[in-house]
Amino acid sequence: MTLANRFILLVGLAPILAAQQTPVAVVGAHVIPITGPEFDNGVLVVEGGKIVGVGPAASTKIPDNARRIDGSGKILMPGLIDSHSHIGSPAGGDGSAPIQPDVRVLDAVNVRNARIQKAQAGGITTANVMPGSGHLLSGQTLYLKLKDGRTIDDLLIHLPDGRIAGGMKMANGTNSRRQPPFPGTRAKSAALVREQYVKAEEYRDKIRKAAGDASKLPPRDLNLEALVEVLDGKRVVQFHTHRHDDILTVIRLANEFHFKVVLHHVSDAWMVADQIAAAHVPVSLIVIDSPGGKIEAKDVSFTSGAALEKAGVLVGFHTDDPITDSRLFLRSAALAVRAGMSRDKALYGLTMANARILELQDRIGSLEAGKDADFILLSGDPLSVYTHVLETWVEGVKVFDRSDPKDYLYAVGGYGASHDQDDMSFEDEEKEEEGE
């Protein structure tokens, strides 16, 4: 792009950026706030990327200068949160070692990947983007806002202390059992993990004893440095595990090294729901609607959500995209309800439970004043197979509109739906090309 064109682009962007500061009010919709009862003829007021008001029309003030969006006949609810995804085609560790905590998804996500737009089409506004599960420890995950961005920095979530939000991916079971240097058995897998965490504890102790004296500090070790963040509670371990015995191994490791953990997939969760509950460990559940896959998932059951709810476990859902399609994320909750989970907890699992799993519950997961303006408009009940996501908004900006032909293509598929975005696919630059 020429300098002149860049100047034109900036000038053209000015009114767009200004428009984002104008209050927006969605009026007339049936509202599912998640943290409170549903209600008809609701109002959601958004300003500066935040929710400033939500409630029935009779008691919710709308600013005089607000742009009104007619939600009549539609369902309004918080943006969906995917606690385990691989959108953006992230590549984690390589074959050199089974434990690679220094690897960062930050350095591997393609934010122009079409699967991000497809996730928006599914109503997903926040996602935990992970490296794969072929390692015992495959690296640092990222919690991303699914905005339309040109670089990864546009999607990052920063914590109050300035750190980039993310967890640590671990796995056990069959995926990480390969030829050396990878372990060949479950027992060796657990032994290697324990050995590495012991090293991390010793590394942390040396740093503490040095008390800031550079001459006494151990040589910097990026692997151990990342694991110290886990030991100190700064990173939650997001642990891929399926079989009932593997699930209990994860709980033993978490108890031994006192790290925060979320159990992911847990195909056999229904077998050990009481043990999971006793350990006070949350679950990120995948709902697979077709047979096949790995042998350790042979006993997967739709009833896991209901069993975990009954036991008192915090349950969220995830897509593991591309294992299940982000555009069909609402179906995970619907299938769980069909198998006995309550409607309220299933919808909570798509939203607030996952916000808690990512430790972002103060910002996302429900429609409440002060939270980020992440929300979706649906054509019908969220658990109906006939329902479509009509609009998806992230921090007060619409990122998906089913009535837009470009967005419709991402929602339904077809030629071009899997093409990565380029610079000229962004709306403002298209308008520049068209002379608008």
Which three-class secondary structure state does DSSP give residue 57? helix
CB distance 336 to 346 below 8 Å: yes
Q: Which helix (H) or strand (E) holds 6?
A: helix 3-19
- Kindly report, residue by residue over 362-375, the tens digit of the pLDDT: 999 999 999 999 99
The CATH number assigned to the domain with range 80-357 reads: 3.20.20.140
The three-class DSSP label of residue 262 is strand
Contacts of 62 (CB under 8 A, 6+ apart): 23, 25, 27, 43, 45, 53, 68
**Sheet with 124-129: strands ordered across:** 80-85, 124-129, 142-145
- Return the domain boundaries, the chain: 3-78+372-434, 80-357
In the structure encoding, which two tokens stand for residue 401, read together?
């509109």
pLDDT in tens, 220-271: 999 999 999 999 999 999 999 999 999 999 999 999 999 999 999 999 999 9
Tokens for 148, please give them: 């339309």
Beta bridge partners of 284: 264, 316
The pLDDT assigned to 292 comes to 67
The pLDDT value given to residue 333: 98
> How many residues are listed for the chain in this entry?
436
d(CA 121, CA 388) in angstroms, rounded, equals: 9
Q: Is the predicted pLDDT of residue 434 greater than 60, yes or no? A: no
How open is the CA angle 209-195-258, to the nearest 5 degrees?
Answer: 65
Question: Does the pLDDT of residue 427 top 70, yes or no?
Answer: no
Ramachandran category for residue 28: left, alpha or beta (phi over 0 → left; psi -120 to 50 → alpha):
left
Residue 1 has pLDDT above 80, yes or no: no
167-216 pLDDT, tens digit each: 999 999 999 999 999 999 999 999 999 999 999 999 999 999 999 999 99
Grade residue 425 by pLDDT with cuts at 50, 70 and 90: low
Which tens digit of pLDDT belongs to each residue from 267-315? 999 999 999 999 999 999 999 877 667 889 999 999 999 999 999 999 9
Query: What is the pLDDT at residue 108?
Result: 95
**Cα 179 to Cα 183: distance, rounded to the nearest angstrom:** 7
> Could you give the CA distance from residue 315 to residue 358 in angstroms, rounded to a whole number?
12
Least Cα distance to 376 among 17, 81, 64, 66 occurs for 81
- Give the tens place of pLDDT for each residue, 61-83: 999 999 999 999 999 999 999 99
Q: Per-residue pLDDT averaged across 348-365, rounded?
A: 98
Q: Give the end-to-end CA distance of the chain in Å, rounded to a whole number.
A: 17
The CATH classification number of 3-78+372-434 equals 2.30.40.10
Question: In percent, how much of the chain has pLDDT > 90?
Answer: 87
Average pLDDT over all residues of the chain: 92
Region 157-161: mean pLDDT is: 97
CA atoms of 82 and 384, how far apart (whole Å): 19
Mean pLDDT of 374-378: 98
pLDDT of residue 294: 83
**Nearest alpha carbon to residue 200 among 239, 242, 237:** 237
436 pLDDT above the threshold of 50? no
Shortest CA distance to 228 belongs to which of 257, 254, 249? 257
Q: Cα–Cα distance between 172 and 263 in angstroms, integer?
A: 11
pTM equals 0.92
Instruction: Return the pLDDT at 426.
Output: 54
Whether 19 has a pLDDT exceeding 80, the answer reads no
